Amino acid sequence: MLNLVLFGPPGAGKGTQSNLLIDKYNLVHLSTGDILRGEIKAGTTLGLEAKAIMDRGDLVSDEIVIGMISSKLDNNPNSNGFIFDGFPRTAAQANALDNLLSDKGTSISAMLSLKVEDAELIKRLLARGQDSGRADDKNESIIANRINEYNNKTAPLKDFYAAQKKLSEIEGLGSVEDIAKKLNSVIDNL
Ligand code: B4P
């Protein structure tokens, strides 16, 4: 199985690149952000709980997102592999993911980490906020909080995967196509 963690700060291009990779490598796309936004749209109890947290730019609880990923893995028993987009975001989530995959006799193949400077992230997210309607993209102080959450709780996970010799860092500035080529070349050499 090919199991990829697509990693990077908010706005780095994780969702954008995941959409290209799922077609090329025939993988199942698991985006915790998309799943949570789906729950909000459907008006579920979980969605109501997550909405206020996401609108502030904070991270949703580990318990909720780990439960979501666990059930999605169970629902796709015959997949070629998965792209984890926006998950894991904390040490607890990374440990839980290793355990869930090991229970299924598989593991993470690689973490692909997109590197983009803060000024570009803010520019991209504010631009998306103008037409996406996403509350967390509209306001610069909420975007700053998301970047802060990433630096404090999520960026340290690079060390977790580097220790397993699974980390590849990729420059995330440039055209979507050029970045996709760089990701493809790392994946093809795994
Ligand atoms: P996510 O949905 O994961 O959103 P994101 O970090 O903003 O990244 P996204 O994938 O959407 O953006 P992309 O970089 O592709 O998270 C939202 C919230 O959900 C979190 O703040 C948190 O509250 C919650 N959450 C999600 N997962 C969680 C977890 N595991 N634990 C706890 N909480 C969780 O693209 C951004 C923009 O850049 C787009 O407009 C795109 O068109 C543009 N872009 C992409 N590539 C570009 C390029 N090369 N050049 C120019 N623009 C580009």
Per-residue model confidence (pLDDT) at position 183: 98
Residue pLDDT, tens place only, 94-138: 999 999 999 999 999 999 999 999 999 999 999 999 988 899 999
Identify whether the C-beta of residue 13 lies closer than 8 Å to the C-beta of residue 116.
yes
> How far is ligand 1, taken at its centre, from the CA of residue 64, in Å?
19
Atom of ligand 1 nearest to the CA of 58: 23
Confidence (pTM): 0.95
Residue 150 lies in a domain: no
Residue 181 lies in a domain: no
Per-residue model confidence (pLDDT) at position 58: 98
Please count the structural domains in the chain.
1
Residue 151 lies in a domain: no
Beta-carbon contacts of residue 15 (< 8 Å; ≥ 6 apart): 31, 33, 34, 85, 86
Active-site pick, 72, 128, 158, 182: 128
> Which CATH number fits the domain that encloses residue 167?
3.40.50.300
The residues of the chain scoring below 50 in pLDDT are none
Q: Is 146 marked active-site? A: yes
Per-residue model confidence (pLDDT) at position 132: 85
Beta-carbon contacts of residue 117 (< 8 Å; ≥ 6 apart): 173
Q: Is 14 marked active-site? A: yes
Domain housing 44? 2-115+158-174
Per-residue model confidence (pLDDT) at position 15: 97
Residue 92 lies in a domain: yes
State residue 111 phi and psi, 5-degree precision.
-105, 125
Residue 23 lies in a domain: yes
User: Which protein residues are within 6 Å of ligand 1, measured from CB?
Assistant: 10-16, 32-33, 36, 53-54, 57-60, 65, 86-87, 89, 93, 124, 128, 136, 146, 176, 179
Residue 189 lies in a domain: no
Q: Is 89 marked active-site? A: yes
Residue 147 lies in a domain: no
Residue 69 lies in a domain: yes
Q: Name the closest-CA residue to atom 36, ligand 1.
A: 11
